[in-house]
Structure 1
Amino acid sequence: MADIHENNPSFTISLMSGAAAGLAVDLSLFPLDTMKTRLQSEHGFWKSGGFRNMYSGIGSVVVGSAPGAAVFFCTYETIKSLCHYSMFSHTQSLVHMFAASCGEVVSCMVRVPTEVVKQRAQANAQLSSWGILKTTIKTEGYRGLYRGYFCTLFREIPFSLIQFPIWEYLKNVWSSHQGFRVRPWQSSLCGAVAGSIAASITTPLDVAKTRIMLANKGALAAEGDIFPVIKEIYREEGFKSLFSGMLPRVLWISIGGAIFFGAYEKSKVTLVTYL
């Protein structure tokens, strides 16, 4: 009976497991994320703070990480479950891609405001998350907190289209090979591999998203259109700049993927046992 629940976890289990997974990875690997943001900033790594105050913006992560991840996995597991009874049930890769895309659309409603505050704090080490939140609302209104929403989706959806089918595929192969479901630690390794592949491919989209969120009001990047930003970076800084911060991004997401998916699977198993 437990195995059925692990394959199709309830809404409550998905909610709690997703929250635990999101908080675990964001808190443990925050300095790597700060390095990545400062490397991608148009002002450069050192002018954005270098190695100082590596936990700038951590407050916004504490507030937004758990609900963002919880909403994602609730949507992901719900869509997977619904598709299980549809005409697409035999095309698992498409189901996983569609479910992950739906999860990103919903979770970004929660994550983007915290991401805006977090990245601005990371690139301005002398400012607090609360100060940046108040300044953003005062100068740009609440709409300013959603600057980069669509470019974040444009980054996250391709990322998820790559990551989740690979994660599910690796788990299925490993499960078939050993004759039983993968353990949480095995799922975490599959997540690390899937995440590193997706992270390296989608780095230019992440660079553009960072520039859009950090841009001053009135700048080209502040308009939120991802392709003009990519073209401007390529024209003014060269192809190499489109992959700024790729190493810490891949490192952050591969280690983070291991923690994220491992924590998610472990939480599911634990909650199924006690709830």
Structure 2
Amino acid sequence: MDLQDSKLTSKYLGPLLGGALAGLAVDVAMYPLDTLKTRLQSQQGFYKAGGFGGVYKGLLTVASTSMPTASLFFVSYEATKNITQPLLPIQYAPLVHLLAANIAEVLACLIRVPTEVAKQRKQTFVGGNASSISILVQAFRTEGLCKGVYRGFLSTVLRDVPFSSIQFPLWELFKKMVQDRSHSKITSFESAVCGAAAGALAAAATTPLDVAKTRIMLATDGSAHKVRIAPVLAHIYAERGIGGLFAGVGPRVTNIFIGGFVFFGMYEKCKMHVEIYLDS
């Protein structure tokens, strides 16, 4: 391996492995809270959607795809930062982080959306006891690729892009504040705390978009108000008011706060170990 290849490996192997392990750990650990949040947001209501039972339904679907999704996100995030940072003055760093997070989210949604469709239909028993693959095959046969397998792609992007637009610039800002104050390299624990705080703020602000995304993915017919985000939000507000728009905000914020701590802490820890190993 020549010097150029070694530098490239050092630059992206850490985000690749760190993202994979971080994604798997947080998705498995926080899955029950995610199930409760989905059921709170479902149109049929919490108890009809399953209540407190079977909170691990759909876990295998998420566990099998969380690693490639998180890896794709962080490799894309770091690659975009590495390309754009040298082109802009340091004061434009938040813009760099914003752009990197947005590009990474759109790419990650190519894996995330089919996973979410299968997972949420299992969580609320819309898919019955069918396997995740069977649910996606059935969705493709009856609804097609865009309206079935990738149902809710736009609403997921419209939820996740604003979320990342808040979370990642805040994470980077909080890390810089901590680093400037301590005058030393930030630790994985400090990064975890910064990620948890940034994630909680982003989660609270984007809950209405998450509710709309859940409703769209759980819909099994093609009625107009169920496949476009603006009519869905209007329908939810007319049906349940402000409380409906923020349904599941407690589990969502708790999930992402705790999950953010695990996610960013493990990501930084793993990336640090990979960099040390490659430099040795």
Common fold, TM-score beyond 0.5? yes
Q: CA deviation at 1:193?
A: 0.4
Question: Aligned pair 1:197/2:201, yes or no?
Answer: yes
Q: CA RMSD in A?
A: 1.7
Match of 1:234 in 2: 237
Q: CA deviation at 1:134?
A: 3.0
Q: Is the 8 A contact 2:188 2:265 kept in 1?
A: yes
SS of residue matched to 1:46? coil
For 1:170 and 1:30, locate their aligned partners in 2 and report how far apart those are by CA, in whole Å.
27
Match of 2:3 in 1: none
Question: Aligned pair 1:22/2:23, yes or no?
Answer: yes
2:171 to 163, 167, 173: 167
Match of 1:188 in 2: 192
Match of 1:255 in 2: 258
For 2:209 and 2:225, locate their aligned partners in 1 and report how far apart those are by CA, in whole Å.
13
After superposition, the C-alpha distances for 1:105-133 in whole angstroms (9 at most, x for unaligned) are 11111111101111111111842424322
Q: Is the 8 A contact 1:163 1:198 kept in 2?
A: yes
Match of 2:43 in 1: 42
* Alignment-mate amino acid for residue 44 of structure 2: H
Q: Give the length in aligned residue pairs.
A: 268
For 1:89 and 1:103, locate their aligned partners in 2 and report how far apart those are by CA, in whole Å.
21
Q: CA deviation at 1:217?
A: 1.4
Match of 1:57 in 2: 58
* Alignment-mate amino acid for residue 17 of structure 1: G
Match of 1:155 in 2: 159
SS of residue matched to 2:91? coil
SS of residue matched to 1:42? coil
For 1:217 and 1:188, locate their aligned partners in 2 and report how far apart those are by CA, in whole Å.
41
Aligned 1:64-79 pairs, distance under 5 A: 64-79=65-80
SS of residue matched to 2:87? coil
Q: Structure 1-normalised TM-score?
A: 0.93
For 2:250 and 2:224, locate their aligned partners in 1 and report how far apart those are by CA, in whole Å.
27
* Alignment-mate amino acid for residue 76 of structure 2: T
What is the identity percentage for the equivalent residue pairs of Structure 1 and Structure 2?
47
Q: CA deviation at 1:89?
A: 4.3
For 2:35 and 2:260, locate their aligned partners in 1 and report how far apart those are by CA, in whole Å.
17
After superposition, the C-alpha distances for 1:218-271 in whole angstroms (9 at most, x for unaligned) are 233442x11110011111221210000000000000001001101110110111
For 1:211 and 1:270, locate their aligned partners in 2 and report how far apart those are by CA, in whole Å.
41
Match of 1:80 in 2: 81
Q: CA deviation at 1:83?
A: 1.3
* Alignment-mate amino acid for residue 98 of structure 1: L
For 2:225 and 2:187, locate their aligned partners in 1 and report how far apart those are by CA, in whole Å.
44
Q: Is the 8 A contact 1:37 1:119 kept in 2?
A: yes
Match of 1:114 in 2: 115
* Alignment-mate amino acid for residue 190 of structure 1: C
For 2:150 and 2:65, locate their aligned partners in 1 and report how far apart those are by CA, in whole Å.
14
After superposition, the C-alpha distances for 1:10-59 in whole angstroms (9 at most, x for unaligned) are 12221111111111100111000000000000011100001111111112
Runs of 4+ in 1 over 3 A off after TM superposition: none
* Alignment-mate amino acid for residue 268 of structure 1: K
* Alignment-mate amino acid for residue 75 of structure 1: S
Gaps of 5+ in 1: none
Q: CA deviation at 1:88?
A: 4.8
For 2:21 and 2:196, locate their aligned partners in 1 and report how far apart those are by CA, in whole Å.
17
Match of 2:224 in 1: 220
For 2:97 and 2:10, locate their aligned partners in 1 and report how far apart those are by CA, in whole Å.
15
Question: Aligned pair 1:135/2:145, yes or no?
Answer: no
For 1:92 and 1:161, locate their aligned partners in 2 and report how far apart those are by CA, in whole Å.
13
Q: CA deviation at 1:104?
A: 0.5
SS of residue matched to 1:110? helix
For 1:22 and 1:181, locate their aligned partners in 2 and report how far apart those are by CA, in whole Å.
24
Gaps of 5+ in 2: 1-5
